Structure 1
Amino acid sequence: MPRYYENKYPEVDQLVMVQVLSIEDMGAYVKLLEYDGIEGMILLSELSRRRIRSVQKLIRVGRNEVVVVMRVDPDKGYIDLSKRRVSAEEVVKCEENYEKGKAVDSIITQVAKKRDVDADDLYEKIAWPLHKQYGHTYEAFKLSITEPDAVFAPLSLPADTLSDLRSVIARRLTPKPVKVRADVEVKCFAYQGIEAIRTALRAGEAVGTDEVPIKIRLVAPPLYVISTTSTDKNAAMETMEKAVEAIGESIKEEGGDMVIKMNPKIVSDTDDAELKELMERFEKQNMDVAGDDDSDEDEE
């Protein structure tokens, strides 16, 4: 098990992620997942603020827990921990930090295997210096995707190690694009109804940017699909919501109406396949109708 950070032991008041090894009369024995699996203990009195009726309901063997460090005795190897002194917000913060640490460890381990070197050596030469400079190695690795020289130049790494490191980081940390979609019905029975609908749809598309382009497709009148693809999930959702709002405001000004059939949401390949199937079905129905009309005209 790796040591994510340079210090061999955590500091007092630091949040750490542990895994429960056993539950005894005194409390729970745990291993610190970010510190090479060294052992610590959560005293029974530090498990909960409430009266303990059943220890098993509070903590279980094999489960990961967020705890705070109360005391560290490096000479004797004692680490006393508390679960009851950790707030809900701190749990979220520690879990996020731990996930970042796992991502970094995965990258370091993979590069170590490719170079046939010890992962601890790469931690010492790469991860720990970057952690000290950027607050977390994960943040440095993310920045290196766009600014590799700024991040890695001070480390003076061998060219082959640097090449493998950049390759693994790009594969693991480059954001994957997400697709966001909304379905709306747009109607306008005024004299210039068709033009009003076109204007409204253009207003929706105009909200898009180069990073978050908005596309609108007709499924079958009056149903339209609005979609965008972006690596920035939050920006995609926000832009999509603005696009829907712009269409609604525009068509309302012209005396028309918009009904949201599906609010903006991240969609999967399955959703896309279902939409494609739906559009193909409508297209086939339209072709069939057109074919019937032609037949009638031929008979006449």
Structure 2
Amino acid sequence: MNVNECRFYEAQYPEPEEFVVVKVRQIADMGAYVQLEEYGNIEGMVLLSELSRRRIRSVQKLIRVGKREIVVVLRVDKDKGYIDLSKRRVTPEEAVKCEEKYQKSKAVHRIMRLLSSKANVEMEELYKMFAWPLYKKYPHAIDAFKLALDDPEAIFGEFNLDPTLLDELMSIIRRSLTPQPVKIRADIEVNCYGYQGVDAIKKALKAGEECSTEEIRLIAPPLYVLTTNSLNKAAGTETLEKAISTIEEAIKSEEGGEFVVKMRPKAVNEHEEKELADLLARAERENAEVSGDEYSSDEAP
């Protein structure tokens, strides 16, 4: 068996009334032929009458080849290998729960596939060793894997795994499940045309940085960028929002103070981070002689 076709769960077939994620393989007159990824890509069918509660005018608008769909199992004939499925009987709430389970199982499967490749052991053998038993013992195997981050022996000790295999497994689990910090960024414009001028800007920015932002950098007067790293996207966004409010309040309390948010706090990807780094590097070259407006975190106000 192809390692990528190893089923996620110990059961070879789903049970009636079970919700599963399928990938559409072919659309025919009778309905859609699909593959059940969680069950080793075995084939099932969503009959035309089970695609939608509404009158079907165009099958292509309801279901497309290559797309993943959430369906419910109607009938399973294990002898003939027939699996009848329904899309129209799935409620939005049931779809959300099924998607959550699928994503967890997919994460477990990814870890098992990596371990299979590294250890040169068939995926099914690895599932039999510890993953399928963990599905029975815990709400989900991914919950056991997360607990193993703190105490591997408590989770895997009962399976007497080869030490080398266990070390490789824990290495993969740590890389896969340890939260990674997210960089949050916001862009603002700060001006002050009053008597305090530059000092007012420095004071306002310093107040914002004390809200625990990682850094406030000048791009080109009057544009500044605020950044922070956080394991929690919502918390990081909240931090920058607080910094923005603090800066706005401080600068607008000064005569001639002006403030504009150019970009609200958002998580930035690697490409956006590189663009910002290039922009900052260019700005530093162009402002080799420090202007009166420049501010950095190591400069006293």
The two structures have a TM-score, normalised by structure 1, of 0.81
5+ residue gaps, structure 2, are 292-301
- Structure 1 equivalent of residue 249 of structure 2: 249
Higher mean C-alpha displacement, 86-95 vs 127-136: 86-95
Contact kept in structure 2, 1:207 and 1:214, CA below 8 Å: no
Q: Which amino acid is the alignment partner of residue 250 of structure 1?
A: A
2:68 equivalent to 1:67: no
- Structure 1 equivalent of residue 219 of structure 2: 219
Q: Which amino acid is the alignment partner of residue 241 of structure 1?
A: E
2:258 equivalent to 1:239: no
Query: Which residue among 173, 176, 179 is the counterpart of 1:172?
Result: 176
**CA deviations over 1:95-116 (Å, ceiling 9, x no partner):** 4433332332222122123333
Distance 1:288 1:251 in 2: 25
- Structure 1 equivalent of residue 260 of structure 2: 259
Spell out the pairing of 1:265-276 with structure 2 (5 A cutoff).
265-276=266-277
**CA deviations over 1:47-80 (Å, ceiling 9, x no partner):** 1111122333323444332111223344554432
2:140 equivalent to 1:139: no
Distance 1:272 1:198 in 2: 25
- Structure 1 equivalent of residue 50 of structure 2: 46
Distance 1:180 1:100 in 2: 26
Query: Which residue among 104, 128, 132 is the counterpart of 2:132?
Result: 128
Q: Which amino acid is the alignment partner of residue 170 of structure 2?
A: R
- Structure 2 equivalent of residue 14 of structure 1: 18
Distance 1:202 1:184 in 2: 14
How many Å apart are 1:227 and its aligned residue? 0.6
Distance 2:126 2:290 in 1: 68
2:207 equivalent to 1:203: yes
How many Å apart are 1:199 and its aligned residue? 3.6
Q: 1:251 to 1:43 in 2, by over 3 A?
A: same
Distance 1:29 1:215 in 2: 54
Contact kept in structure 2, 1:214 and 1:240, CA below 8 Å: no
Distance 2:290 2:45 in 1: 75
- What SS does structure 2 have at the residue aligned with 1:34? helix
- What SS does structure 2 have at the residue aligned with 1:135? coil
Q: Which amino acid is the alignment partner of residue 260 of structure 2?
A: V
RMSD over equivalenced CA pairs, Å: 2.9
- What SS does structure 1 have at the residue aligned with 2:12? coil
Q: Which amino acid is the alignment partner of residue 18 of structure 1?
A: V
Distance 1:270 1:20 in 2: 33
- What SS does structure 2 have at the residue aligned with 1:203? helix
Q: Which amino acid is the alignment partner of residue 8 of structure 2?
A: Y
